[in-house]
Amino acid sequence: MKKIISFVLLILVSSMILGGMTNTAQAQTDPTILLKIAKHAQKQLEDQINQNSSDKTKQLFKEGMQQINALEESLKNNDIDLAKKYFLSAMKIFKEISQQLTNSQSSQAEVVTLKDTVKDPSADLLRMQDYVDNLKIIAKKYNTSINFSELDNLFVTAKKQITDKQFDDALQTISKIKQITEDFNNKIRGHASQQEQSRAKEYAQKYLEQLDRLIEDVKNQGLSEDIIQKLVAARENLSSITDPQEIIKQIKEIKLIKEHLKVHKK
């Protein structure tokens, strides 16, 4: 039996040690990721470098490729530290190339693409969709009677307008979505504030119980009558207020008295 227990103890200790090791290992970088990111960047830039690109840019790209080759080689040799160094070096070069390409490229096609990106309100719509989804969950939690169907329809409309490249119309629809969302947000917050009051009261009640024990302790320890009176007065105030903000304010005041009490005890 002793042998079995020793064996179990051994397993437990080993697992604790292994657990610690893996936690450390988890924070480390998987080196193969580095090569994938760097190669992906290399491929993208390769597609964009053309005959019109400057010699400097082409030279930089060659240097970048050399760094990637060195990165690949160091990974084969299992030299992770060196691999990290080559990765950072390659990415630094690729960043510089991207900036150079930005300055030099002025083809009409590129300008049109960027213009479209700027005008396209897809991101704004997606952002609002995420926000509204979050509000829907909260509204459900409060059992509100808010009807989101109008908003849902507007989202469908805006998506279609974006697909059809009617960006100005889409922007107007998104503007409507924002107005309605703001209104819903206020309604939900109205519901929330009612419940917050009861949560604040519940919290204050728990705090009062702690405070009662503290007052009792202070009395037993025969500490300053002034502090006891302050605590009793604060207790009375806290028990009478219902506004959440007032409760927070009062609790902060009690904390100051507690700090004073600690100093007094020392």
Q: Map the footprint of other proteins across residues 42-71, applying CB under 8 A.
A: 43-45, 47
**Residue 20 or 221 having the CB closest to other proteins:** 20
Touching other proteins, residues 113-152 (CB under 8 A): 113-114, 117, 120, 122-124, 126-127, 129-131, 133-135, 137-138, 140-142
Sequence-distant (≥ 6) Cβ neighbours of residue 72 within 8 angstroms: 35
| Shortest spacing between CB 222 and other proteins, in angstroms | 27
Q: Which helix (H) or strand (E) covers residue 42, if one does?
A: helix 31-48
DSSP letters, 164-198, are TT-HHHHHHHHHHHHHHHHHHHHHHHHHHHHHHHH
| Shortest spacing between CB 216 and other proteins, in angstroms | 19
Applying CB under 8 A, the span of 65-73, 82-90, 221-229, 257-265 interacting with other proteins comes to 82-90
State how far the Cα of 19 lies from the Cα of 180, in Å rounded to an integer. 50
> How many helices (H) and strands (E) are present in the chain, helices listed first?
10, 0
Does residue 199 belong to the site contacting other proteins (CB under 8 A)? yes
Does residue 30 belong to the site contacting other proteins (CB under 8 A)? yes
The total of other beta-carbon atoms located within 10 Å of residue 18's CB is 10
The total of other beta-carbon atoms located within 10 Å of residue 151's CB is 20
Does residue 168 belong to the site contacting other proteins (CB under 8 A)? no
Touching other proteins, residues 203-242 (CB under 8 A): 203, 206
Which among 227, 235, 245, 183 has a CA at the least distance from the CA of 207?
A: 235
Does residue 256 belong to the site contacting other proteins (CB under 8 A)? no
The total of other beta-carbon atoms located within 10 Å of residue 27's CB is 6
Which among 160, 163, 139, 164 has a CA at the least distance from the CA of 149?
A: 139
Residue that has been written with the tokens 């504030």 in this structure: 193
State how far the Cα of 96 lies from the Cα of 104, in Å rounded to an integer. 12
| Shortest spacing between CB 33 and other proteins, in angstroms | 5
| Candidate list 180, 251, 253, 257; residue touching other proteins; CB under 8 A | 251
**Residue 77 or 190 having the CB closest to other proteins:** 190
Applying CB under 8 A, the span of 41-49, 68-76, 167-175, 212-220 interacting with other proteins comes to 41-49
| Shortest spacing between CB 220 and other proteins, in angstroms | 23
**Residue 164 or 243 having the CB closest to other proteins:** 243
Does residue 34 belong to the site contacting other proteins (CB under 8 A)? yes
**Residue 198 or 229 having the CB closest to other proteins:** 198
Applying CB under 8 A, the span of 32-40, 55-63, 164-172, 257-265 interacting with other proteins comes to 32-40
